[in-house]
A and B are shown apart, each in its own frame.
Chain A
Amino acid sequence: MPTIKLQSSDGEMFEVDVEIAKQSVTIKTMLEGKWYTGVDRWVTPPNVSSLICPQVIQWCTHHKDDPPPPEDDENKEKRTDDIPVWDQEFLKVDQGTLFELILAANYLDIKGLLDVTCKTVANMIKGKTPEEIRKTFNIKNDFTEEEEAQVKQVPFTLWHKKK
């Protein structure tokens, strides 16, 4: 079976089936490109470390038989409670790793992985007060009291009522 190598940012090589790798639209397009002539083929997505690379490969391997993800329907209500159990377990990682996965999925254009990772982050935000969210993600509160009050008032009336 034809394979392709992924080289992580720190130089390690990981071999993966071409068919599995093609879940990444980035890789798929590169493989179909005319300029791609080498025998010993490898791809180096920037900033995908040797820790993240195998995880991405693992996710893609598990999902290799999935049907292609549907196009984003902007009008459809977006749900976050439909993450498959395997993915939920897979994504029980520290935040740093989660964000690295998001970035890798973004660069490699793996829609399914990007979707579940973003939903996971959304779930980390849901149901929390701003202070709790800040604690979760270690974000500094840069509002002055005035600004905070402003946000609380004006946008309330501007948030549209539907959706």
Chain B
Amino acid sequence: MGHLLSKNGYDLKKKSRKLRKKKKKRNCFLQGPCMLCFIVHGTSGSVEDDWPFESAAVSKVAERCVPLNSPEECARFLLSPGELAVWEGQGRSLLSKLIGPPALFCAVVPNYSEMVCKRKCAELQRCTPRKQPRCAFQEAMENGEERGDSRCLLPSLPSSSSSSSPSEEDGSGVGRHTDAGSASTSSSSSCCCQPSQNESLEETKSAENTDINQLPSSILLKVFSHLSVKERCLGASLVCKYWRDLCLDFQFWKQIDLSGLQQVKDDLLVKIASRRQNVTEINISDCRNVQDHGVCSLASNCPGLIKYTAYRCKQLSDVSLCTVAIHCPLLQKVHAGNQDKLTDHALKLLGEHCKELKDVHFGQCYSISDEGLVALAQGCSKLQRIYMQENKLVTDKSVQAFAENCPDLQFVGFMGCSVTSQGVIHLTRVRANRYV
């Protein structure tokens, strides 16, 4: 979203021009008279008929405010690209950026609650001025602009990075987890910004009792991050569906251990991947129903992966490990024992891309030979632990390569490989060697 505004003055003007256009169609992305409309579109003449201000207030505004009738004037008063970059860097929401500065020029509004996209209204979930993940906001903006919808895009933005329920068809009791383009938002087309009869009543009512579930989901996630896994698991996730979905939010799952779970299939891995959470460890050992596709999805979306464990996943081919190698340069541990289909090709890629590799286990990967291991040794000088077992194609040559290229070696296992005492002699020459 940042790039929408921050880098390019033109974009900034284009955007305010778009806003002005929308205003004429009564389609301001903030849905009707709001602070931004008010500031951007000027204080007189172009004010909407249903603008709730007294004329006195309007003229007072005119005194204090600079008339912003053109995109150029708007641009002066909106943040400069540099300032926007500062905001972007802090991950602030678009709303706070746009609303913030013009707030200084705001009128003394008789009924403030009707101005800005209100947080407390019937459509509770939709109108919270909260920090939205940028991608979600941009998505929604694009959607809104495409559709020409008069809906309040600001608030609820169920971003791709907000929680997604594992059972999406559920629709989730409180209807929060709608995707940007989903139907449920269009079903509630009357946005809170329109001072509608019933809503304003409920607004004032709920204004008095702020409910915990009215807090933005980002805040609830922050609260839950202070709980331990057990507390989330036994307490918070069982309170209501909304809390369940938040607790299952993968932001809490940097280290995912799915080992032995047969119900884990590619779709779960794809889901984890789509959350764009920076998973650091994944263990899919013994998950027979996971295929290359799932692993590749995960790997390509988790560049921060550090540990990959997949014992006995005989169904996986080279493709999985190759994709992991290519996309996860921070990889430190690869334990892929008992994967028959692994070949030297994957090892070569690991040697090329994963310079941080420290700990590898390729026991009983029968197709691996010296070629792959030598490439690995030459590429990964930080290797500390290497475990091979019954790899008949592995000979002293590999051992020598490790000895020569990996000064940090601590543990080497070559049981059942074609390694002779000659190889061992090479190793003993390695200084840091502690156990062979």
Contact = CB atoms under 8 A, between A and B. Distances in A.
Interface of A: 9-11, 25-26, 29-30, 32-36, 38, 41-47, 74, 78-80, 95-96, 99-100, 102-103, 106-107, 109, 114, 118-119, 121-122, 125-130, 133-134, 137-143, 147-148, 151-152, 154-163
Given A33-B101, A34-B80, A102 B219 contact: yes
A155 B237 contact: yes
Interface string B116-160: 101110000000011100000000000000000000000000000
B contact residues, range: 35 or more
B167 to A, nearest CB: 8
9 closest cross-chain pairs (CB), A and B: A122-B226, A130-B238, A142-B173, A99-B210, A35-B77, A137-B212, A46-B116, A44-B103, A9-B112
Contacts of B345: none
B436 interface: no
Contacts of A142: 173-174, 240-241
B52 to A, nearest CB: 14
15 contacts: A9-B113, A29-B100, A30-B104, A44-B106, A45-B103, A46-B129, A80-B226, A100-B210, A102-B215, A125-B236, A126-B231, A130-B235, A134-B239, A139-B213, A156-B233
Nearest to B248: A155
B173 A125 contact: no
Interface string B245-286: 001100011111110010100000000000000000100000
Contacts of B303: none
Contact of B101 (A36, A47, A138, A140): A36
Interface string B313-345: 000000000000000000000000000000000
A125 B100 contact: no
Contacts, number: 174
B104 A38 contact: yes
A25 B97 CA distance: 12
A37 to B, nearest CB: 9
Interface string B22-58: 0000000000000100000000000000000000000
Nearest to A115: B222
Interface stretch (B84-92, B348-356, B396-404, B415-423): B84-92
B432 interface: no
A163 B129 contact: no
A25 B244 CA distance: 32
A103 B80 CA distance: 26
Given A125-B227, A155-B248, A30 B100 contact: yes
A142 B78 CA distance: 44
Contacts of A128: 235
B243 to A, nearest CB: 8
B248 to A, nearest CB: 6
Given A34-B83, A125-B235, A140 B240 contact: yes
Contacts of A126: 227, 231, 235
B373 interface: no
